[in-house]
Amino acid sequence: MNVCEICPGVFHIEEDYRVYCTLVAGEKSALLWDTGMGRKNLKAFIEARLALPYRVLNSHGHADHIGGNARFGAVCLAREDWPLLPSAPEYALNDLPVGIRFELGGLTAECVSLAGHTRGSRGLLLRERRLLLAGDALNPRMQLLGPEPDSLEALGGTLRTVLDLPFDGFLTSHAPGVLDKAQAEAHLRHLEAFDPDALRPVRLAGETVWRGEWRRGVWRSVFMLSEAARQGFAAR
């Protein structure tokens, strides 16, 4: 597994090809953000390099971010995403409520709502590092597929809230480095100017989905929508 130290105490781990987990380590304890696909022993990898107690948190409930959960004794995931998990998880499952703060020793991590990609998508705000761990919630190509995305109103609220948070850049679960906060503003401008008639059908994983794109200067926002999400945009 490849590891990159993004800033002091923040390590971005490529658990599988283009699937990233993040270890946040303070002076007294640590957090593991997501467990990837589960094809490799992430637990052994972490514990060979970390001498601190740590908690495991999931950014959301999709399979490529919870795949290694069973190797850990307990995992925190927003209750709204519990229906996305297997019916009988092989570990203790705890809620991850908005507003909870983890004092790690010289470093604080605060849980924020990033509802949109899924109803229970969460972010982890590291104020001292001016960094947000965003899971899949702010990917440049935002996917609103299947039955689990939140409403368009919730997505708009998420983006407006994100722009008020004290950070400069963010990490996602599918990119190796820090992305600029301006990407969230690009998504919001895209949402505000959205034209459902401009959507184009594309094939993704054997299914037809709807693609919309917005550009302004160097910034680009892409939405990939299910038919239900497309109808939601059209009904606004």
Per-residue pLDDT of the chain (236 residues; tens, 9 = 90+): 999 999 999 999 999 999 999 999 999 999 999 999 999 999 999 999 999 999 999 999 999 999 999 999 999 999 999 999 988 888 999 999 999 999 999 999 999 999 999 999 999 999 999 999 999 999 999 999 988 898 888 899 999 999 999 999 999 999 999 999 999 999 999 999 988 888 999 998 888 999 999 999 999 999 999 887 777 666 55
The helix or strand, by DSSP H or E, that contains position 160, with its residue range, turns out to be helix 152-163
Tell me the DSSP string of 189-223. Answer: HHHHT--GGG-EEEEETTEEEEEEEEEETTEEEEE
Q: What is the pTM of this model?
A: 0.95
Q: 149: phi > 0 → left, psi -120 to 50 → alpha, else beta; which?
A: beta
Measured between alpha carbons, how far is 128 from 150 in angstroms, rounded to an integer?
30
| pLDDT at site 81 | 97
Sign of CA dihedral 45, 126, 101, 60: negative
Measured between alpha carbons, how far is 166 from 4 in angstroms, rounded to an integer?
23
Please give the domain boundaries of the chain with CATH numbers for all domains: 2-234 (3.60.15.10)
